[in-house]
A = this chain, B = another copy of it.
């Protein structure tokens, strides 16, 4: 079951704004309608708040475990994407964030979902 308590954060190392991007290429969940597994990739892109403002970054191993907690979850693509956005926003309160999921074909149909938090600058929105 998706488990946001797995997520851990560490204090951001700087007051100067910078941009982090994590791309998980081996994400899997289960289709809530057919029960078949879905495979895809998840891209998380964000700017942490400044260190002096208490900004944090998600820790990478905890992110991996969090993504793995979706493994047997029956959930729509759209719900997975928005849940990841919500859980990571609650953890980090980043300056802005984009969560993008790319799903391999099922029944011959590929899908891409994008959810955002805050104002994503144009050059990071694609």
Contacts and interface: CB of A to CB of B under 8 A. Distances in A.
Interface of A: 10, 12-14, 16-26, 28, 31, 33-34, 36-37, 39, 48, 57, 59-61, 63-64, 67-68, 71-72, 76-79, 81-83, 85-86, 104-117, 122-123, 125-126
Copies of the protein in its oligomer: 10
A22 to B, nearest CB: 5
Nearest to A39: B26
A109 B64 contact: yes
Nearest to A64: B107
Contact of A34 (B10, B61, B81, B109): B61
Given A77-B60, A123-B122, A21 B111 contact: yes
A13 B82 contact: yes
A85 B116 contact: no
A10 B32 CA distance: 11
Given A14-B82, A37-B68, A39-B26, A113 B19 contact: yes
Nearest to A62: B33
Contact of A113 (B20, B23, B39, B105): B20
Given A20-B77, A22-B111, 17 more contacts: A13-B83, A18-B78, A18-B85, A18-B116, A19-B113, A21-B111, A23-B112, A25-B104, A25-B109, A31-B60, A33-B59, A37-B68, A39-B39, A39-B108, A60-B106, A60-B107, A63-B109
